[in-house]
Structure 1
Amino acid sequence: MTPPTVWLARGRHAGPAAQDVVRRHAQQLKESGVIRDWLELPETEGAPEQVFEARWEAGEEVTVRARLALALDPAREGAWTLAAEAEAPWDPRWPSPATMFWPDDPGVPWDHEGETGAELRLRDVNPLPPDDKELRRVLRGAARAGWAVHFVVHEAMTPDARGRLPLARLLPPGLRHRVVEHRAAPHQLRAVNWALREVGVQVPRGGAVVLPGEPAPQGYDGDDFAVRSVFLDGSEPAELLAAVRRLAASPRPLPDGAGEVLTALREDWHLLTLQEELARERALVTMYAEALEAMTRSRDLYREAAERAHEALAVYRESAADQPAPPVGEARQEAPAASPLQQLTRTLERFKGGAKARRPGGTARDGTGPGHDGAENGADGSRA
């Protein structure tokens, strides 16, 4: 869930030299005492972004730390993400963290909404496109947006100069740069509601609705965030502003990609005071000492286990040596039977031995060979 102490925003600077704009504005705020200090991290080769840090006090001595990451990739030139965290739950009446890095000047185009891909502004009114296909694309992107609060106002009739002023300017400072205001012309009501039916919300005629975003707050109901009437005559639409504040304050999961941004703010922070540096070094010393103690404890446990294993092995060997050897007859009886292969080998050997006994060369020993028969025949012939 998004912590109540965190302020998140994403946008795009559409003009040139965005880094120079941030540097000049941050230095001016430091010199005027608005912020305590700021820091630009050294740019490394191949880094995807340029990082700026700033810290200031809000409310009653509540320290706020903020981190602005400015994309360096030419394909994402000017894209920025901003995460700020206070020491207390965020109060929307506090100054906007965006104005601590960007000048709140309409002529500086840093306030382009950077999530839906459409040319939307955070500090201005955004008329919906006249083309129905483009209108549906914009509203579907707005309904899925999670970094900013989007709301749609239907103009029941064409407003005058006062009615064309953005309603977001009437919100507290901490919300103005997290809100995108869409305006539907009188004839676009049907197309708008057709595009929003997928998210289950409808815009009343002459009214407004606050879109849920993605991920939606727990228990979001489109009827609870729909306003029946919004008068675009310069007066304050209290019901609509209350609905926007209520949605912004609702507990909701972190938007897509915000987890990494918040982790970088908390774990990769460089703008430290002397007391914070000492506290960090002490924490590192404590962590290293605990790790060394754990390693020493593991080594001692391993040594003790090895000694016990050697003792057990020695006891086993002594007990095996003390037992008497089995008798020879028992040893023969307990001898394992020959395997079938061994029996076959012995049988073949016996056949081989019998064949050797019947060979012709072997019959000369018992006087039955051919030589002996010839001698006898000769003797008989002589006697004849």
Structure 2
Amino acid sequence: MAKNSTSSTAVPDTAWLGRGRHLGPEPEQDVRRNLIALKAAGVLDDFLDLDPVEAAASTVLHPRDESADPGPSARRLFEARWRVADDVTVRAQLTTYDPEARRKEDEGVTWVLAAEAEQAWDDHWPSPALMFWPDSDQVAWDHDTVAGVRLRTTNHLPKDDDELRHLLRDCTRQSWFIHVVVHEAMTPDAKGQQPISTFLPPSLRHRVVEHRGTPEQAQIADFAMKRELSVRMPRGGAVILPTVPQGADYEAERFTVRTVFLDGSEPTELLDRVREFAALPRPMSPEAERALTRLRQGWHLLTPDEELVHAQDMVTKYAEALDAMTTSRDLYREAAEAAQAALAEVTGGDGVPRPPAAGPAKTEGSPLNALTKAFGRFREPKK
């Protein structure tokens, strides 16, 4: 199991972060097709498809910042820009990664998505996930990094107690998503099997994973959650799992719903609790922090106005660098001329050293002093 490492930095209210796995054969091709279609439809302003090595070498805004490097296991880097609420620009990066060495090949390609808007994020805006991934159940992009867990559907809890506790630990320590456990008081019909995420606002829909406990799992689920997370599983109700370590604003009772009707109707109380939980300060993992930093400092997809500002900034920097080189050249030339003059004073101009004159040594007129005075002038900062 991955180590639980968190940052003291909270996710900004302008950002949307996601991490998952694509189990299909051609994840990058699925992204390209979706980006091309959305740009043609006018949904996206523009997008870029970059090789990670080239992207790191050609970082526009902060070319010397190592955080702009997506890492050696990165396969592809995609950038997209779109507008919401008429004039609010959203910038987003999606990076695909090779599976970790300890994983099986059939466990898919990991992806990390970081998006940020020019103002506080509104959950009713379009989901950044669907700007890169197609909105199709046939494309398996929506798997969590926790094995056996998927977005956009209901995930049944393991029947084995040890497996259940292991799942709870992984979901609360490793996953970037919000995890909700719903207990079925009785086996629901087709309408009741519909995941609650379908009732959520678009941008929140792809941040929630729903787990289901069968009627006979009430006791085992309650025991496992009480032991692992200090929360209770109400029979026929639901609970939103805390993150580990648990945030100061989380109250188990507050995020527990006693009754959820799984009849296809909108579970209003549970949806309200999910939205409330999503608005709580959420600490970023180191990986999430790197993804957001890379988005901010490793951005390539500039608007025409940004390109103009960037070009002007580069002209200023080149002019400053040229001025510094010219100043250094002049200083070196003056130092060389002073050294030659001092040497001529010592040798009499013919390159042959002269013996010191007889009589008491005169410090001010000695050849050594002449050289010292000549070079001393260039040790002063102002020279």
Same fold (TM over 0.5): yes
> What residue number does 1:281 align with?
311
List per-residue Cα deviations over 1:145-177 (Å, max 9, x = no partner).
451000100111111111111111100000111
Aligned mate of 2:263, from 218, 233, 253: 233
1:215, distance to aligned residue in structure 2 (A): 4.7
Could you tell me how far apart the structure 2 residues matched to 1:217 and 1:8 are?
A: 18
One-letter code aligned to 1:3? P
> What residue number does 1:111 align with?
142
Larger Rg: 1
> What residue number does 1:123 align with?
152
Distance of aligned partners of 1:250 and 1:242 in 2 relative to their CA distance in 1, 3 Å threshold: same
Distance of aligned partners of 1:22 and 1:257 in 2 relative to their CA distance in 1, 3 Å threshold: same
1:63, distance to aligned residue in structure 2 (A): 0.5
Aligned mate of 1:50, from 76, 93, 97: 76
1:32 and 2:37 matched: no
1:185, distance to aligned residue in structure 2 (A): 0.8
> What residue number does 1:165 align with?
194
Residue segments in structure 1 that go unaligned for 5+ positions in a row: 301-316, 319-384
- SS, match of residue 94 in structure 2: strand
Q: Is the 8 A contact 2:99 2:110 kept in 1?
A: no
Distance of aligned partners of 1:289 and 1:2 in 2 relative to their CA distance in 1, 3 Å threshold: farther
Q: Is the 8 A contact 2:73 2:97 kept in 1?
A: no
Question: How high is the sequence identity, in percent, across the aligned residues?
Answer: 53
1:127, distance to aligned residue in structure 2 (A): 0.5
Q: Is the 8 A contact 1:151 1:180 kept in 2?
A: yes
Could you tell me how far apart the structure 2 residues matched to 1:33 and 1:238 are?
A: 34
Could you tell me how far apart the structure 2 residues matched to 1:221 and 1:288 are?
A: 56
Distance of aligned partners of 1:43 and 1:2 in 2 relative to their CA distance in 1, 3 Å threshold: closer
One-letter code aligned to 2:142? D
- SS, match of residue 254 in structure 2: helix
> What residue number does 1:154 align with?
183
- SS, match of residue 282 in structure 1: helix
Off by >2 Å, runs of 4+ in structure 1: 42-49, 72-77, 143-146, 214-218, 280-296
Could you tell me how far apart the structure 1 residues matched to 2:318 and 2:252 are?
A: 53
1:135 and 2:144 matched: no
Q: Is the 8 A contact 1:21 1:102 kept in 2?
A: yes
> What residue number does 1:96 align with?
127
Distance of aligned partners of 1:199 and 1:285 in 2 relative to their CA distance in 1, 3 Å threshold: farther
1:284, distance to aligned residue in structure 2 (A): 4.6
Distance of aligned partners of 1:294 and 1:244 in 2 relative to their CA distance in 1, 3 Å threshold: farther
1:183 and 2:212 matched: yes
Could you tell me how far apart the structure 2 residues matched to 1:90 and 1:99 are?
A: 16
**Number of residues of Structure 1 aligned to a counterpart in Structure 2:** 299
1:201 and 2:231 matched: yes
Q: Is the 8 A contact 2:74 2:95 kept in 1?
A: no
Could you tell me how far apart the structure 1 residues matched to 2:323 and 2:238 are?
A: 62
Could you tell me how far apart the structure 2 residues matched to 1:215 and 1:51 are?
A: 31
1:65 and 2:65 matched: no
Could you tell me how far apart the structure 2 residues matched to 1:222 and 1:294 are?
A: 62
One-letter code aligned to 2:94? L
Could you tell me how far apart the structure 1 residues matched to 2:220 and 2:323 are?
A: 68
1:20 and 2:49 matched: no
One-letter code aligned to 2:18? A
Distance of aligned partners of 1:47 and 1:14 in 2 relative to their CA distance in 1, 3 Å threshold: closer
Distance of aligned partners of 1:185 and 1:57 in 2 relative to their CA distance in 1, 3 Å threshold: same
Q: Is the 8 A contact 1:150 1:213 kept in 2?
A: no
1:187, distance to aligned residue in structure 2 (A): 1.3
1:257, distance to aligned residue in structure 2 (A): 1.1
Could you tell me how far apart the structure 2 residues matched to 1:119 and 1:156 are?
A: 23
1:73, distance to aligned residue in structure 2 (A): 4.8
Could you tell me how far apart the structure 2 residues matched to 1:289 and 1:213 are?
A: 51
Residue segments in structure 2 that go unaligned for 5+ positions in a row: 1-9, 55-71, 332-362, 365-383
- What is the TM-score of this pair, normalised by structure 2? 0.72
- SS, match of residue 224 in structure 1: coil
Q: Is the 8 A contact 1:5 1:89 kept in 2?
A: yes
List per-residue Cα deviations over 1:177-206 (Å, max 9, x = no partner).
111000011111221122212322111111
